[in-house]
A and B are shown apart, each in its own frame.
Chain A
Amino acid sequence: METLLTAQAVFYYMAAASVASALLAVTRRNPVHSMLWVLALFLHMAGMFLLLNAEFLAAVQVIVYAGAILIFYLFVVMLLDLPDEEARPRFERHWPFAALVGLSFASLAWLARSDMDLFEVGIAAAAKPDGPPLGSLEDLGLELFGPFALPFEMASLVLLAAIIGAILLARNRGAGA
């Protein structure tokens, strides 16, 4: 009971901190500060994944999202020298409409989830009573190399296409051709 309460308290802390860091990330003037707030958001998200029995996904979140993707964004921000970025307006002129869109989407999803008829647990759990624990590496590996083998291979193709596309786009034309 004590541990459950602690876990709940930690979860609600993570939830509050992730909302706060997301808000700060989209409103800060300095792009590097925004990136660092997004980093905080991703790390809190990884903590929530841990609490929701997704250990492998939490590790992937820290290593791939926070460690690789976000650092890549930071590199690009630092590579492109933006001296006057902080002096220019952060938002487009139409930002109140954007706020309206975000707010109405969030409240629609909020309303949709509160009277959703929550189907009960038991169907999938009963199907494999003595399998590996949910979210463990073994569990995800069995799925990835079983029913999800084709999408898994397709993901490698998507990443290959992205690598080739990024090199072609960012290559210096003068030096290349």
Chain B
Amino acid sequence: MLGYYFKLALRNLNRNPGLTTLMIGAVALGIAVCVMTLTMYRAMSGNPIWWKNDVLYAVTLDAWDPKEPANEDRPELPPWQLTYRDAMALIESDIPKHKIIMHKAIGVVAVDGLRVKPERALTRVTTSDFFAIFDVPFKYGGGWAPRADEGPEPVAVLSKKMNDKVFGGENSVGRQIRWNDREFRVVGVLDHWLPLPIFYDVNNGSLEEPEDVFIPFGWNVALELQSAGNTNGWKPEEIETYQDFINSEDIWIQMWVELPDATARQRFQAFIDNYVIAQKKSGRFQRPLNNRLTPVDQWLIDNEVVGNDDRVLVGLAFAFLAVCLLNTVGLLLAKFLNNAPITGIRRALGASRRQVFMQHLVEVSVISSIGAVAGLALGGLMLMGLRALYTVDPTDGGGTQALAHVDFTSVATALLLALFATVAAGLYPAWRIGRIPPAIYLKAQ
């Protein structure tokens, strides 16, 4: 009988095309908004490197103003970045298995002899462990050796996207690029890598894509590089030279360490505490001792990657889906009651209430399935629209570009939920139509 009901459901779609379109539209819209919101929420709230949650830590020290905290809303938290000199001191520790200090910069990439116009490229200026500590996959080559940070050596790693753009996706290891008019040799090309949110530098935009070029940290001094992200300071200081800048209390460097076990963690905590205590003696770090090693999960919470607004937005999206489904219930009732005379005929010819209920439930399932597929497509379009809306500068990763890479687990969850909800919403109309006495329609047909 299910096959027969399915055939009838398809036929009934055409019986009231206006109502059918409205119902599918309502379901699709509700699902689309949910899929879009859930995708954004998942993208913003997930821990993209969960397998390292108990070994990977962001390092923060409270070197801020003794009179007021760095974050008035969360006064217990130290600032989220380090000064250059503190970062340079802490990176000397040999306790971590991997350790990095880094910041974001902007450069212009060109290639001599290629008809590729110079590209403005987000760049990460980092120590060599970046690729190992974050398990970054390589398509060609690899990262650079630690000694390249000190030289510094003119080596670079390109993202897959940049390599595709500049070298047409070929193995470019050994090729030269010009980064801000200085020659760099490509030593590696990343494979597809899209950690969402971009946990290692959340203050620069949690939904951005990773940078397109990676160069050794040592180039900071040689090229007098500054951060393309936030640089914050609390102390009025005379800064006239680059040397003044890197010796200042301005914070702009991120530091991450990989500590393989609790012992290493305790040792490194003691190391940074001792460092700060020593600095206190020279008049720095006048706030209470507050040095933190923060795992990624906590880091995302502390930095409010998923704010209350986002949770409210998800709630609103589901409330909107509920409104759409309530409307669908009304439309289903209207459609079914409109067809009540035909149901009356079927009842007269031997259909039981259960059979009428099942027939209409199959019809609801067909409508909700079509609505779900349409909702998925509409959700995809909405995400594309969002992506286009935010991608003003094509070289800017544009946080929502990443949303093109939707997490299909969350989409499947939203779809199943919506299908279940729609079928549940159709239970009442399907039950109601079966309870109508058939006789009243047979005379009036």
Asked whether A and B interact, the reply is no
